[in-house]
Structure 1
C-alpha cells in the first residue's frame, strides 16, 4: 500500500443507493463513475444568495420516480465555483457544495457539483474523488450496499 493512503472499507457496485442527510435526501440512486472526477447532483431552480456574508445555494432535487416523484427543497453552503466538463465534453461553471454522503453503513463528506441531469438516467453521479479511500468498485454488480442506514 502506498504511504498516506487508507485501505477502502467497502465494495460498491456500478450503481448504489446513497443518502444526503443534510439535504433531506434519505435515498437516491447514484451511478458510480470512476471516469468522472467529481460528483454531480441533478438540481433545478438553482439560486445563489448570501447569508451573513456567506455564499449559499438554494435548489430543488426530484425524489422518487414518475407518479411518486416529489421535490426536495435544499440549501447548502457554496464551497466554490468549479469549471467542469459536462457529459458532452463542454466546459461549464458549476456550484460546488460539500455535504455528508451515506453509502450502506459508511458516512463521509463529499464535494458535489449542482447541474441539470434531467436527460440522464441517474440523478446523481458518484465520481472517483468521492470514493477515494472509502470504496472499491465491482462494476459487474449493482446495489451491493443496499439502502443507506441513517
Structure 2
C-alpha cells in the first residue's frame, strides 16, 4: 500500500472511526494524544484508562478509552529527552487494510496531528510517498484481518 505524508486512520477498538495521522519515518513508534492517563488493575490484569481528544486546533470530540496495557517503554521525544510512556496494542485501519500496531500514549496537544504513525507500524504494510497526502482516503471500517 502506498500512503502519503498524512493519512486518515481508524482505531476501531478505541471507538475512533477517523483521525488524521502524520506519517513519520523518522519516528520508531506510533504516538497518540491522550490525557487523564491512569493505569489500573482489573481481575489481575494491567489495563490503562485514558481520554483521546479528536480535532485540531480545538478538540471537537473526546473518547474515554480503556484497554490492555502492553508495556511501559522509554521513548525519546523530538526534544531528545527520554521519557516513560504507556504502550497499548490495537488494530489500525488505513484505507482497506487493517493490522495490529503498538501505540504510545503522550501529550500531543500542541501538535497539529493527534497521532503520529511511526515506521514500525508501517513495516511490511506500507510505503510512503511524502509528496502527497491522504492517498488512501477515509478508513473502511469493514476492513478485516
Structures share fold, TM-score greater than 0.5: yes
Partner Cα distance (2:41, 2:125) in 1: 33
Map of 2:25 onto structure 1: 34
Partner Cα distance (1:80, 1:16) in 2: 26
Name stretches of at least 5 consecutive residues in structure 1 with no aligned partner. Answer: 1-9
Give the TM-score taking structure 2 as reference length. Answer: 0.94
Partner Cα distance (1:143, 1:118) in 2: 22
Partner Cα distance (1:35, 1:81) in 2: 21
Give the TM-score taking structure 1 as reference length. Answer: 0.91
Over the aligned positions, Cα root-mean-square deviation in angstroms equals 1.1
After the TM superposition, which parts of structure 1 deviate over 2 Å for at least 4 consecutive aligned residues? Answer: 64-68
Name stretches of at least 5 consecutive residues in structure 2 with no aligned partner. Answer: none
Map of 1:20 onto structure 2: 11
Map of 2:40 onto structure 1: 49
Map of 1:106 onto structure 2: 97
Partner Cα distance (1:91, 1:67) in 2: 28
Radius of gyration: which is bigger?
A: 1
Aligned partner of residue 43 in structure 1, secondary structure: strand
Map of 1:131 onto structure 2: 122
